[in-house]
Amino acid sequence: MVPMGQTLFGSYNPVHTGGPMQVSIAFAEQHAKGYPWKMAGTVRQEVFTRRGGLWFGTYHLLNYPAKLQRACFPLRRLQRRVVCQP
C-alpha cells in the first residue's frame, strides 16, 4: 500500500484489463447481461476469476467481427490449396 494512497488517488484504478485473457473491464461491463452465472461481486471482480475471465475472453474472441466474405477453415484450405480472401 502507498502511504496516503487512498487520500491522494481516491478510487482511481489505472488497470483497464484483467483476467487470464486480459479482457477489457469496459467490454465485460457492457456484456455482463448475458453472463450465465450469478456474480458474487462486481463485474471487475468476476473478470479476475477463472470462470469469468475465460467466459468474457471467449465471448470477445468468438464475437469479433471478421472481414471475410465467407467462412474459411484452415484444414480445408490446406487440403484444397484454397486461399482465403478478406
Residue 59 covered by a domain: yes
- Whether 43 is covered by a domain: the verdict is yes
For residue 85, being part of any structural domain is answered with no
Per-residue pLDDT at 5: 65
User: Has residue 6 been placed in a domain?
Assistant: no
Query: What is the full per-residue pLDDT of the chain (86 aa) written as tens digits?
Result: 567 766 777 777 777 888 888 899 999 999 999 899 999 899 999 999 999 999 999 998 888 887 777 666 665 555 555 555 55
Q: Is the pTM of this model over 0.85?
A: no
Taking alpha carbons only, the member of 56, 65, 61, 58 closest to residue 24 is 56
Residue 47 resides in a domain: yes
Cα–Cα distances (Å) from 82 to 40, 66, 67, 72, 77, in that order, read 48, 18, 17, 9, 5
pLDDT at residue 74, as a whole number: 61
Domain boundaries, position 24: 14-80
Residue type, 37: W
Distance CA 28, CA 50 (A): 14
